[in-house]
A and B are shown apart, each in its own frame.
Chain A
Amino acid sequence: MTGSRVYDVELTGITKRYHEKIVVEDFNLGVQRGEFVSLLGPSGCGKTTTLNMIAGFIDPDGGSISLKGRVINGIPPHKRGLGMVFQTYSLFPHMSVRENVAYGLKTHRVPKAEIIERVDRVLALVRLEGYGDRIPKHLSGGQRQRVAIARALVTDPQILLLDEPLSNLDAKLREELREELKRLHNETGITTVFVTHDQEEALSLSDRIVVMNLGAIEQIGTPKEIYGSPRTEFVHTFIGRSNRFSGTVTVARNQQVHVTTAGGLGIELASVADVIGGDEVNVYVRPEAVTISAAPLDGHLTQIDGRIQAMTFLGAITEYTVASHGEKILVRVQNESDRFQLDDPVTCWWDPRDALVVPRKVAADGTLAA
């Protein structure tokens, strides 16, 4: 976070409490010029509070916020030169589409002729030519949100803030507008901070994702890193689905490290795993990382024998549940051919490097948390 680089948005040590309850704690993030960064997390994780602090609606209790190297703590929202799109659209209901979009230009005392030109241009950008004279009431949800985006973009803001802009739309529109956002970002190259609880949105739109939980950052990374190598238990379970195995670490004579579950399932760990014998751990593996085959395979990989207990056809992929040693292993495979039937005996395996090993928390009374 340090160094000579000037970020478009830089948050340093941001903290916010409400009545002693910590909402955001020691939040550090630098957003580069032109970057699309998502704040992703469950409700109450502090993502919206963080966005509102960037916007200036909420003052942080500690830390500093800079835009393009200039500290903006205490500067009111109307002097920050930002663009923002709200979850509830928040269009001015008494103004036409054109008046809504022109609002920010009028406050910035842009000459009339230029206002007309820029409003036309941005309405074309969001594909709403011909809707200028309607009032928001007479627009569909998707059109309203496009007006809101046009209104935010027309002033050429330094940074665009998006507060769950798609979550009030139905599934089909949401996907359509997601593509639209992507296209707009590509065309305008505007630095964007996007708040969402929807992992699909974050994964498909972002250059980088900030996964938040309980007011703190869990992991920052590209969508590929976040999905492919989750670094914490939370990221593993919040993003996508994961198999979890709880067990005890055993070290074999040949220095191979294994985890054995209560039911006797043995899982091989990568040699880098930072555990010692006797540790209680959780092992997380993505369903996509698991391979499934009819016959056992040669080699030293973890191999688990089981039976197909359930299967769900999901179009391009099939989800199998494999029962083994009292555990249920979720496996997702591409549908090349319909290979397995219920009760088929199968072997599952994965590359130990694809598994995350997390020590289980030991409570004060010596019992283990799940």
Chain B
Amino acid sequence: MTIFSRRAAIAVLLAPALVLLLGVFILPMFSMFVTSLTSPEGGLGLDSYARFFTDGYYWGVLGKTATIGAITAVATLVLGYPVALFMARSDGWVRGVITFVVIVPHLVSVVIRNFGWLMVLGDNGVINSALMSLGWIQRPLQLLYNEFGTIVGFVDSFIAYMILALAASLYNEDPNLARAGSILGAGRLRRFLTITLPLSLPGILSGLVLVFSLVISSFITPILLGGPRVTVMATLTYQQILITLDWPFGTAISFILLATTLLVVTVVTRAFETKRYKEVFGA
């Protein structure tokens, strides 16, 4: 005999999390949404949204944000895939060491790691001094305070998420598939392109979505490594809310960013999820 029915037990167990989510996430978000719909005169209206979409400058910021997000996502994919593959193919202590090396930098704050990049990418940084002492360049390359520096910082910050997402997908591959492929005459490259790569599509998709969402909502790296020239949606929101104190416009920008994220994620997911993809990877 149980006092609670199964359903009641589940409700009791979920209650704390639901209350917390409702109190600190859903309600504030709802109140922010209401704020974003407040017009300067005090009534409700779409003025803030209209202001954003009628000004080419803001469109530019949105475009730049999405572009930086997309480039970072693809760069982490290209750079992270070999690491994830090596991780998935190794076992025992080797895998443990790689996982540790991938994760351990994340124990250090993003701010500290971005400062590290200032030392590497700056005019007197490691790269520029090396190239100049070799005589390959006369003046230092502009590696900081632009999109390039921002993307470098982002790739460093988020590549671990990509690697872990890819590795999770690669672990599942039956090692006999590679053997089957090779017995059927496929060399290493062909096996990778026809077996491993297509089977890791779910990992690629979740890695891209994860990194893209994280990048376009980040704001420390664009400030530190991008400087004033690189304004992204997150820094724009920050300026409007904390400097200009224009809460309706600031909250409107953040909702536009949220909508953009959902749109991009939906489009990318749709592009991946062909009929065959759903058949193979679906439940």
By a beta-carbon cutoff of 8 Å, the part of chain A in contact with chain B is 55-57, 76-84, 86, 88, 90-94, 103-104, 107-108, 135, 137-138, 151-152, 155, 161
Contacts and interface: CB of A to CB of B under 8 A. Distances in A.
Contacts of A56: 182
A77 B195 CA distance: 16
Interface string B255-283: 00000000000000000000010011000
A103 B194 contact: yes
A138 B184 CA distance: 23
A93 B186 contact: no
Given A90-B180, A137-B279, A155 B185 contact: yes
B183 A78 contact: yes
B106 interface: no
A88 B179 contact: no
Contacts, number: 70
Top-8 shortest CB links A-B: A104-B184, A107-B185, A90-B176, A77-B182, A90-B180, A78-B182, A84-B183, A94-B280
B187 A94 contact: no
Interface in B168-194: 174, 176-177, 179-187, 190, 194
B116 interface: no
A79 B187 CA distance: 9
B190 A107 contact: yes
B183 A94 contact: no
Contacts of A55: 179, 183
B193 to A, nearest CB: 11
A65 to B, nearest CB: 15
B185 A57 contact: no
B185 A94 contact: no
Contact of B180 (A81, A92, A94): A92
Contacts of A103: 181, 184, 186, 194
Contacts of A107: 184-186, 190
A135 B280 contact: yes
Centre residue among B180, B182, B186, B279 by max chain A CB count within 10 A: B180
30 contacts: A57-B182, A77-B179, A77-B182, A77-B183, A78-B181, A78-B183, A78-B185, A79-B185, A84-B179, A86-B179, A88-B174, A88-B176, A90-B177, A92-B177, A92-B181, A92-B195, A93-B199, A93-B280, A94-B198, A94-B280, A103-B184, A103-B194, A107-B184, A107-B186, A107-B190, A108-B185, A137-B279, A137-B280, A138-B279, A155-B185
